[in-house]
Amino acid sequence: MKQPNKNIKVSNSDVRFLTEIDELLKQIPAMKYKPMVGVYDLREILKVMKELPKLTFPIKSAGELIEKLGGSGKTFRIESIDVDPVRMIKYMPAYYFPIADMGNFLEKMAELIQQNRYKADLPKEMKNIQEQTSGALHFPIENRESLFAQLSTTGRSFTYQGRKVNLEQVIRHIPDNYFPIKTEKDFYARVTDLIVSRPLIVPHTS
């Protein structure tokens, strides 16, 4: 995969050169160029990609993509959810085809994710969360078990978007690399990240 010339400054708006992007792309077949895909979307795409068969390109139509994924009636188990690829592909406009290569496939999947991801009122939600967690946490927080223990012993009922939330399930979805959380500033930065990158595919929990 081609890297930028080290003597050329990388644009601050180029999402392709975050460290986590490199780690995530290692899980996908090699590409000549890094796709223009941000880290939030790539996390979601990988949930799907690791369950799909090996694809060959170009893919000229939606019908061809369905057949390369196993044909009508084929389902995939993604994050403990049965997913019908036909249902997914019907949201891909005709102009998405042909899909030239793997990088182009990732970029088009990322666009679909962005179109379908819930758009939160970030200032409102952050104010709500800050009001609910103020004074409840002590730092550093080493892991999700520690975070759950601190929040669950406050006796508070936590809400998000006006609805009571299952605190244990919410904390279970926090990525491991978010820990340790060293300061209150770090905590709210990670909460912001989670709201903005709200996943489309969430595993069922008992």
Beta-bridge partner residues of 106? none
Which tokens go with 132? Answer: 């609910």
pLDDT in tens, the chain (206 residues): 666 555 555 565 677 777 788 888 999 887 889 999 988 889 889 988 999 999 999 999 999 999 999 999 999 988 778 889 898 898 899 999 999 999 999 999 999 888 877 677 889 989 999 999 988 999 999 999 999 999 988 877 888 888 888 888 888 878 788 899 999 999 998 898 888 766 554 444 43
Cβ atoms of 137 and 128 within 8 Å: the answer is no
Backbone angles phi, psi at 122, to 5 degrees: -60, -50
**Apex CA 172: angle with CA 177 and CA 21, to 5°?**
30
- pTM beyond 0.75: the answer is no
